[in-house]
C-alpha cells in the first residue's frame, strides 16, 4: 500500500526532530563525549600560577607551568571590556551564549566576514574543549558542543563573570597566559590601569598573538590595534575625534617578562618553592651510612638529618603542599592551583639589599682580580675543576644519557655557545664547559639577610649575586660556612648570663685546654700582653679573651644557649667553638643575633604570613616561635659590646656607609675563606657572608678578605639606604635601656683601667661609652 507523501514527510521531519532531540540530550549529559558538569563550571580546572607577594603588597614572583593569574571583572580596565565586546562579540549582552545572526553570516560567507563564535563559545573552547580537530566531522561536532557548553556557562555565570573568565583563559604569547600576566609583561601594569590604546593592543593580539605581538611585530600590532579602535568607534564606545586621537598615538611597550629566574628576591622565591614542595627527609638521602659512629663526620651528618627531620615535622611550612589536602582530597600544587603566598619581604628593603650587594661586590670582585693578576692560582688544578664539573647540571645531563667519565671529560673540552656572568653585563661567548668552570671559580659570592627585631619577619633575602648563573642559596639552613669571630658575642652573652662582670680585667695571655690535647689558641696578630675587658676584647676580636671565658663556662653551656637561639647546626663540644670553627647558616646567625636587641627573647625568623587559595580563602596562617633565652640586662650589655665593635673596633668602618645607632661583629675564617659581618640596630638585624663557592678560592690577605672589608660594606650600604628612606619608618634611635638597669655597670673606666695594649694609655683611661 502506497504511503501518503504528506504523512511520509512529517514522519521524516519527526524522525529528524527526535534524532536531534536525542542527540542534544545525550551530548548535554556527556554520553557522547566529555561535557563539563555543574561543579566543573563553577570551578574550572586550569593551570593557575601561584603568586608571591611582599608585605607591602607587591607581586614579587610566580611559580607556574603556565604563567596565568585569576582576574576579577572589577580589576579590568573599562577599555578592555569595550574593546573585547566591540571586536569579538558585538551583541554579547543581547544573546544567551549563541549569536545566531553571526553564525548564519559565518556559514554564508565561510568566515570571510567574521566568525560566528561568541565570547562565551570561545570561553567554552578555552576552558573545556581544547584545540579544534582536523577531521571535518569532529570540527563540526566540537562547535556544537561549544554551543551547548556556552549555554550552560550563560546560565551559571553573569555576563561580567564570563568576561573575567575569558580574560583569565586567553593566551597572549611570550609565556603570558591571561590578561593580568599580559598587561604586566607588555606594559608593566595591572589590567585596571591599562589605557585605551594599551587595551586595544592586547585585545588585538587575541586574533594571532605572535603576528600582532607589539614587541616582535610593532607595525602589524599598530595596524591591528587601529582595527580594534575602529570597531570601538563603530559600536559607540569612541567618538570619531577620540578615534583619530588614539590612532595617532604610538604603542609604548614596557616589556617586563615574568620568569622564575628574573626579578626580585629570586633565591628567596626558589627557597620558598622548595619548602612548599619539600618531601619528608629520608635516611637514604644522607651520607652517614658506613661512617664510624664516633667520628665527627658521622655526628655532623646524622645531626643534619635529625635537624631536617625535626624541621619537617614541626615547621608548618616545610612540605606544606604535601601535608595539606584540598576539599577533593588532592594535595596542593604550587604550579597549578593559583595559590597566593604573602611573605614578610619588603620590596623596598629587598631592592636596597640587592643594590648594596651589587655596589659592594662589583668593587670587591675587581679587587680580587687585581689581587691575583699575574699570580699562580692555588685552586687552578685539574682535580678541583673535575669536582666542580660534577656539580654542574650539564654533567648530570650527560650522565643521564649514559656517558662515562672519559666521554664526559672529552665533551667538557668542546666549545659551546654559553653566557657568562660579569658585573658589567652578560658575556655571550663560545667556550668549553671546562673553561667556563675555570672562569666561574673566580667569581665571589655574597649573601645578605635582614630581619625585623621583635617580629622575626625577614625583610630582605639575597641568596647570591645572580640567580641565573648560580642558583645556590647561601642564606638558607642548608648553606653552612664557618662563622669565625661572629660567634664570640654568643660566648660573652652566655658568660654574662652566668654572672660574669663585663668590666673585669682579663690578661691577654694564651689559654690552654688540658682536656682537649692542650689546645691553645693564638691571637690573629700573634700579640700577647696587657689586659682587656669584654668590651675591648670583643672590639679588637682578641682570641685569648674569649678563650678565657670559654674555659671558665665550658663549651656545653655555650652550645645549650646556642640551641635556645635557634641554631640547629651541629656543634661539637670543643673549646674551638669560641672562635667559630664550625659551620652555621646565615639565617641561623641572624635569628640568634635578634635576641640581643629584643631584650633576650629569641624569635624564630619568619618569612611567610599566610597562604590563600585562588579565591582569597585563607588556607594557613604562620606565626613565629618565641623563647626567652637571656635576662634583658644581659641582652642590653651584649648590644653595648656590639656597639663597641663599631665605635672603637674592627667594625669602625660602618660609619662610612650609614649614620644610625648600630652594633655588630666582624668575622674572618682560616686563610680568609669566609668574610662575615653581623649588624644590629634597635629595629633590624642584618647579616652578610662573602666568599667563593669553593673555600680554596680566597684573598691572600685579611686586609682584603676579612669581614670588615668584604662583608661589612654591604651591611653598611643597606642600612644607609633603609634609614634614609623615611617612608619605611625606621627611626634612628639608640637601644632601649631596660627598666632599673644600673648604667655604672658599663662604666669600666671608673671601675679600673681598661687596657687595649700596654702602649695605649690614653685610650685606656677613656670611658667605654660616652
| 608 phi, psi to nearest 5 deg | -145, 135
Secondary structure (DSSP) of 188-251: SS-GGG--HHHHHHHHHHTT-TTTT-TTT-HHHHHHHHHHHHHHHHHTTSS-HHHHHHHHTS--
Instruction: Report the pLDDT value the prediction gives residue 300, as an integer from 0 to 100.
Output: 82
pLDDT band at 118 (very low <50, low <70, confident <90, very high): confident
Closest CA to 589 of 715, 460, 481: 481
Average pLDDT over residues 537-559: 97
Sequence-separated (6 or more) residues with CB below 8 Å from residue 368: 442, 444, 699, 704
Sequence-separated (6 or more) residues with CB below 8 Å from residue 732: 659, 660, 661, 723
pLDDT at residue 763 greater than cutoff 50: no
pLDDT at residue 131 greater than cutoff 50: no
Percent of the chain predicted with pLDDT > 90 = 61
pLDDT band at 744 (very low <50, low <70, confident <90, very high): confident
User: What is the rounded distance in angstroms from the CA atom of residue 684 to the CA atom of residue 207?
Assistant: 52
Residue with cell 577531521: 135
What would the grid cell of residue 758 be? 700596654
Contact 450, 437 (CB under 8 A): no
What would the grid cell of residue 387 be? 669536582
Residue 576, CA distances (Å) to 479, 513, 645, 673 in order: 21, 10, 21, 17
pLDDT, tens digit, for every residue of 163-186? 998 998 888 987 788 899 899 999
User: What is the rounded distance in angstroms from the CA atom of residue 242 to the CA atom of residue 237?
Assistant: 9
Q: Tell me how far apart the terminal alpha carbons of the chain are, to the nearest angstrom.
A: 125
Instruction: Report the pLDDT value the prediction gives residue 116, as an integer from 0 to 100.
Output: 65
pLDDT at residue 292 greater than cutoff 90: no
Closest CA to 272 of 68, 458, 444: 458
User: What is the rounded distance in angstroms from the CA atom of residue 183 to the CA atom of residue 206?
Assistant: 13
DSSP H helical segments within 29-170, as ranges?
A: 38-42, 78-88, 100-108, 119-124, 136-156, 159-169
pLDDT at residue 293 greater than cutoff 90: no
pLDDT, tens digit, for every residue of 305-357? 888 888 888 888 999 998 998 888 889 999 889 999 999 999 999 999 999 99
DSSP H helical segments within 479-542, as ranges?
A: 488-497, 534-539
Instruction: Report the pLDDT value the prediction gives residue 463, as an integer from 0 to 100.
Output: 96
Average pLDDT over residues 720-729: 96
Instruction: Report the pLDDT value the prediction gives residue 629, as an integer from 0 to 100.
Output: 97
pLDDT, tens digit, for every residue of 596-651? 999 999 999 999 999 999 889 999 999 999 999 999 999 999 999 999 999 999 99
pLDDT at residue 47 greater than cutoff 60: yes
Average pLDDT over residues 520-528: 92
What would the grid cell of residue 523 be? 691571637
Residue 732, CA distances (Å) to 415, 648, 660, 669 in order: 55, 20, 6, 32
Write out the H or E segment, with its range, that includes residue 6: helix 5-28
* Eight-state DSSP code of residue 457: B
User: What is the rounded distance in angstroms from the CA atom of residue 629 to the CA atom of residue 565?
Assistant: 7
pLDDT at residue 519 greater than cutoff 60: yes
Give the other-Cβ count within 10 Å of 407's Cβ: 13
Contact 311, 355 (CB under 8 A): no
| Burial label, 465 (beta-carbon count in 10 A; 0-12, 13-18, 19+) | buried
Contact 485, 666 (CB under 8 A): yes
Whole-angstrom Cα Rg for the chain: 33
Residue with cell 633565652: 629
User: What is the rounded distance in angstroms from the CA atom of residue 206 to the CA atom of residue 543?
Assistant: 69
* Eight-state DSSP code of residue 513: B
Contact 199, 83 (CB under 8 A): yes
What would the grid cell of residue 134 be? 582536523
Contact 461, 477 (CB under 8 A): no
Write out the H or E segment, with its range, that includes residue 677: strand 674-680
Residue with cell 685579611: 702
DSSP H helical segments within 277-346, as ranges?
A: 296-314, 320-323
pLDDT band at 531 (very low <50, low <70, confident <90, very high): very high
| Single pTM value for the model | 0.81
Closest CA to 663 of 589, 746, 719, 724: 719
Amino acid at each position: 500500500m502506497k504511503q501518503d507523501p504528506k504523512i511520509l514527510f512529517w514522519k521524516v521531519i519527526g524522525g529528524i526532530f527526535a534524532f536531534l532531540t536525542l542527540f542534544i540530550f545525550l551530548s548535554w549529559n556527556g554520553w557522547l563525549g566529555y561535557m563539563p558538569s555543574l561543579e566543573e563550571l563553577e570551578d574550572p580546572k586550569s593551570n593557575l600560577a601561584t603568586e608571591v607577594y611582599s608585605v607591602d603588597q607587591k607581586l614579587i614572583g610566580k611559580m607556574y607551568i603556565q604563567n596565568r593569574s585569576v582576574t576579577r571583572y572589577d580589576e579590568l580596565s573599562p577599555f578592555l571590556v569595550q574593546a573585547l565586546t566591540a571586536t569579538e562579540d558585538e551583541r554579547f549582552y543581547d544573546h544567551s551564549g549563541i549569536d545566531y545572526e553571526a553564525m548564519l553570516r559565518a556559514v554564508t560567507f565561510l568566515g570571510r566576514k567574521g566568525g560566528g563564535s561568541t565570547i562565551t563559545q570561545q570561553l567554552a573552547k578555552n576552558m573545556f574543549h581544547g584545540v579544534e580537530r582536523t577531521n571535518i566531522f569532529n570540527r563540526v561536532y566540537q562547535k556544537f558542543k561549544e554551543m551547548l557548553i556556552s549555554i550552560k556557562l550563560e546560565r551559571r555565570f553573569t555576563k561580567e563573570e564570563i568576561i573575567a573568565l575569558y580574560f583569565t583563559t586567553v593566551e597572549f604569547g611570550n609565556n603570558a597566559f591571561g590578561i593580568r600576566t599580559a598587561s604586566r609583561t607588555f606594559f608593566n601594569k595591572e589590567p585596571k590601569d591599562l589605557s585605551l590604546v594599551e587595551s586595544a593592543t592586547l585585545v588585538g593580539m587575541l586574533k594571532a598573538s605572535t603576528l600582532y605581538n607589539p614587541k616582535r611585530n610593532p607595525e602589524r600590532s599598530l595596524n591591528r590595534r587601529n582595527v580594534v579602535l575602529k570597531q570601538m568607534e563603530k559600536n559607540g564606545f569612541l567618538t570619531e575625534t577620540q578615534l583619530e586621537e588614539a590612532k595617532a598615538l604610538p604603542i609604548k611597550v614596557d616589556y617586563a617578562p615574568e620568569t622564575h629566574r628574573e626579578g626580585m628576591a629570586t633565591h628567596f622565591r626558589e627557597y620558598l618553592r622548595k619548602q612548599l614542595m619539600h618531601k619528608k627527609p629520608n635516611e637514604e638521602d644522607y651520607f652517614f651510612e658506613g661512617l664510624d659512629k664516633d667520628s665527627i663526620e658521622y655526628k655532623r651528618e646524622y645531626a643534619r638529618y635529625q635537624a631536617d627531620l625535626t624541621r619537617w615535622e614541626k615547621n608548618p611550612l616545610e612540605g606544606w603542599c604535601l601535608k595539606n589536602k584540598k576539599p577533593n582530597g588532592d594535595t596542593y600544587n604550587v604550579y597549578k592551583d593559583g595559590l597566593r603566598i604573602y611573605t614578610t619581604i619588603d620590596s623596598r628593603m629587598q631592592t636596597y639589599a640587592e643594590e648594596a650587594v651589587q655596589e659592594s661586590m662589583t668593587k670587591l670582585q675587581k679587587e680580587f682580580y687585581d689581587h691575583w693578576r699575574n699570580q699562580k692560582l692555588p685552586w687552578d688544578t685539574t682535580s678541583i675543576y673535575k669536582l666542580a664539573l660534577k656539580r654542574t647540571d650539564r654533567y648530570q645531563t650527560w650522565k643521564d644519557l649514559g656517558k662515562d667519565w672519559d666521554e664526559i671529560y672529552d665533551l667538557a673540552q668542546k666549545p659551546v655557545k654559553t653566557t657568562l656572568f660579569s658585573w658589567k653585563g652578560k658575556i655571550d661567548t663560545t667556550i668549553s664547559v671546562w673553561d667556563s668552570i675555570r672562569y666561574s671559580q673566580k667569581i665571589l659570592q655574597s649573601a645578605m639577610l635582614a630581619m625585623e627585631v621583635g617580629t622575626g619577619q625577614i625583610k630582605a633575602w639575597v641568596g647570591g649575586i645572580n640567580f641565573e648563573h648560580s642558583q645556590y642559596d647561601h642564606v638558607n639552613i642548608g648553606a653552612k660556612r664557618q662563622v669565625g669571630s661572629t660567634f664570640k658575642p654568643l660566648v660573652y652573652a652566655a658568660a654574662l648570663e652566668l654572672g660574669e662582670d663585663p668590666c673585669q680585667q682579663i690578661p691577654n695571655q694564651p689559654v690552654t685546654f688540658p682536656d682537649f690535647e692542650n689546645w691553645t689558641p693564638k691571637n690573629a696578630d700573634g700579640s700577647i700582653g696587657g689586659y682587656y675587658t669584654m668590651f675591648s676584647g670583643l672590639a679588637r676580636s682578641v682570641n685569648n679573651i674569649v678563650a678565657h671565658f670559654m674555659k671558665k663556662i665550658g663549651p656545653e653551656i655555650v652550645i645549650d644557649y646556642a640551641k635556645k637561639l635557634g641554631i640547629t647546626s651541629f656543634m661539637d663540644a670543643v673549646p674551638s667553638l669560641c672562635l667559630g670553627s664550625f659551620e652555621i647558616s646565615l639565617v641561623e646567625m641572624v635569628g640568634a643575633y635578634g635576641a640581643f636587641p629584643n631584650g633576650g627573647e629569641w624569635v624564630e625568623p619568619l618569612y611567610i604570613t599566610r597562604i590563600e587559595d585562588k579565591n582569597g580563602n585563607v588556607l594557613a596562617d604562620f606565626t613565629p616561635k618565641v623563647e626567652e633565652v637571656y635576662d634583658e640586662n644581659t641582652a642590653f650589655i651584649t648590644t653595648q659590646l656590639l656597639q663597641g665593635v663599631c665605635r672603637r673596633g674592627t667594625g669602625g668602618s660602618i660609619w662610612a656607609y650609614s649614620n644610625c645607632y648600630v652594633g655588630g661583629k666582624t668575622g674572618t675564617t682560616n686563610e680568609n675563606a669566609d668574610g662575615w659581618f653581623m649588624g644590629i640596630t634597635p629595629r633590624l638585624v642584618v647579616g652578610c657572608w662573602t666568599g667563593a663557592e669553593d673555600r680554596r678560592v680566597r684573598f691572600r690577605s685579611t686586609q682584603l678578605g676579612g669581614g670588615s672589608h668584604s662583608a661589612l660594606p654591604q651591611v653598611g650600604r643597606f642600612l644607609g639606604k633603609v634609614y634614609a628612606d623615611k617612608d619605611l619608618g625606621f627611626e634612628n634611635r639608640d637601644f632601649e635601656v631596660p627598666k632599673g638597669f644600673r648604667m655604672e655597670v658599663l662604666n669600666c673606666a671608673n671601675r679600673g683601667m681598661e687596657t687595649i695594649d700596654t702602649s695605649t694609655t690614653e685610650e685606656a683611661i677613656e670611658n667605654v661609652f660616652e
